[in-house]
Amino acid sequence: MPRLPPTLFWQARRLISPLAPLILPVCRDLETTSNELRWIRDHVKSHPSPIPSKLRIWQLVDKRSNGTPLQYVLGTQPFGSLEILCRKGVLIPRHCTESYTLYLSTLISSSSPSPIKVLDLCTGTGCIPLLLTFLLPSATATAIDTSPISISLAKQNFLHNFSSLPPSSNMTFTQNDIFSPLSLPSSPDILTANPPYISSSLFQSTQTTRSVRHFEPKLALVPGDHLKQKAIEYNCRLEDVFYARILEIAREIAAKRVLLEVAGWEQAVRVVEMIEGKEYGTVGIWKDEVYGATHIVEETQIGRRKIKVIGEGEARAVYLSRI
């Protein structure tokens, strides 16, 4: 990462705040620095404490200056109409995940009868099923994760959001390993998953930001070495092993739709190639910005399949539908 010029630190101090130079190295530009300082001040103002406000602001700025993600510093991340609680040990929701979840809700609401069954694997904060149940009031959701920390936080997020929002239908959170025998609802209208999908080498490379490597849970990002035998059995790369298992689950429970987050185009292609025969009539690839950019459509060929690619940015999700 290139070093910042000394003049930028001087501008940050003069134009923004004496605190601005502390977080400039992690923010990298003046606009982001200004925004983050404003959000920190707003957070302190909206969360009263016996600790003096100036001291609390300095404490949060100091924490952010060490590289701690802003979402962990503030404890929340907006996600659609929801406020998702964020804690160390649980993956931070991304904007691209929000975008495809919003778009998915429009597809389901326009084509599915009520009630709607949602199954979310590797749920993390629970952001995907929570937003879907908020946007689709008739939905019931089952959310599964192997991490007890994630399941605990997902339950907190349910209580945090649905105490003041329209009442949700039944939502179940279960700690389980998807590679173990599972008892799952049959024929869900949608199976969603944002599984670990990064290779160990990519995780250690400069393509993965220092903030992610040092502060976010590797368990949620990189499939563990204990799954190498499973990858051999599925005849796939280790970073793709969760997709092979999830597609197996989707076949077993006859999921009507499947939406899987991926790391980029090459992985999206490999996931599409895992799909057997004609089990899904519609197969698509969605990019980072799909919600609000559905007018941007390309068509490509993967094997014998014609695939619609929707949105702007990098390939971010593979969408399958029997309907």
Question: End-to-end alpha-carbon separation of the chain, Å?
Answer: 46
d(CA 310, CA 303) in angstroms, rounded, equals 19
Per-residue confidence (pLDDT) for residue 110, from 0 to 100: 73
CATH level 2 (architecture), domain 95-321: 3-Layer(aba) Sandwich (3.40)
- When pLDDT is averaged across residues 48-62 and rounded to a whole number, the result is 97
Is the pLDDT assigned to residue 27 strictly greater than 80?
yes
Per-residue confidence (pLDDT) for residue 109, from 0 to 100: 85
Angle at 213 between CA 207 and CA 215, to 5 degrees: 145
Strand, coil or helix: 287? strand
Residue 205 burial class via C-beta count within 10 angstroms: exposed 0-12, middle 13-18, buried 19 and up? exposed
- When pLDDT is averaged across residues 37-63 and rounded to a whole number, the result is 97
Under DSSP, the state recorded for 235 is T
Is the pLDDT assigned to residue 195 strictly greater than 60?
yes
Average of per-residue pLDDT values in the chain: 94
Residue 135 banded pLDDT, cuts 50, 70, 90: very high
Count H helices, E strands: the chain? 13, 11
Q: How far is CA 221 from CA 153, 204, 217, 282, in A?
A: 17, 11, 7, 28
Per-residue confidence (pLDDT) for residue 138, from 0 to 100: 87
Find residue 144's DSSP bridge partners. Answer: 121, 174
- When pLDDT is averaged across residues 268-274 and rounded to a whole number, the result is 97
205 or 323: whose pLDDT is higher? Answer: 205
312 or 278: whose pLDDT is higher? Answer: 312
Per-residue confidence (pLDDT) for residue 152, from 0 to 100: 98
What percentage of the chain exceeds 90 in pLDDT?
A: 87
Is the pLDDT assigned to residue 198 strictly greater than 80?
yes
Per-residue confidence (pLDDT) for residue 223, from 0 to 100: 98
- When pLDDT is averaged across residues 17-34 and rounded to a whole number, the result is 97
Is the pLDDT assigned to residue 275 strictly greater than 80?
yes
Per-residue confidence (pLDDT) for residue 165, from 0 to 100: 53
Is the pLDDT assigned to residue 230 strictly greater than 80?
yes
Per-residue confidence (pLDDT) for residue 15, from 0 to 100: 97
Is the pLDDT assigned to residue 167 strictly greater than 80?
no
Per-residue confidence (pLDDT) for residue 52, from 0 to 100: 97
d(CA 27, CA 302) in angstroms, rounded, equals 39
- Judge contact between 71 and 86, C-beta under 8 A: yes
- When pLDDT is averaged across residues 261-284 and rounded to a whole number, the result is 94
- When pLDDT is averaged across residues 218-235 and rounded to a whole number, the result is 97
Residues 6+ positions from 321 with CB-CB distance below 8 Å: 256, 257, 258, 280, 281, 282, 283
Is the pLDDT assigned to residue 58 strictly greater than 80?
yes
Which amino acid appears at position 161 of this protein? N
Find residue 319's DSSP bridge partners. Answer: 259, 284
- When pLDDT is averaged across residues 20-25 and rounded to a whole number, the result is 98
Is the pLDDT assigned to residue 169 strictly greater than 70?
no
pLDDT in tens, 83-129: 999 999 999 999 999 999 999 999 998 776 778 999 999 999 999 99
Per-residue confidence (pLDDT) for residue 274, from 0 to 100: 96
- When pLDDT is averaged across residues 225-235 and rounded to a whole number, the result is 98
Per-residue confidence (pLDDT) for residue 164, from 0 to 100: 60
Per-residue confidence (pLDDT) for residue 318, from 0 to 100: 99
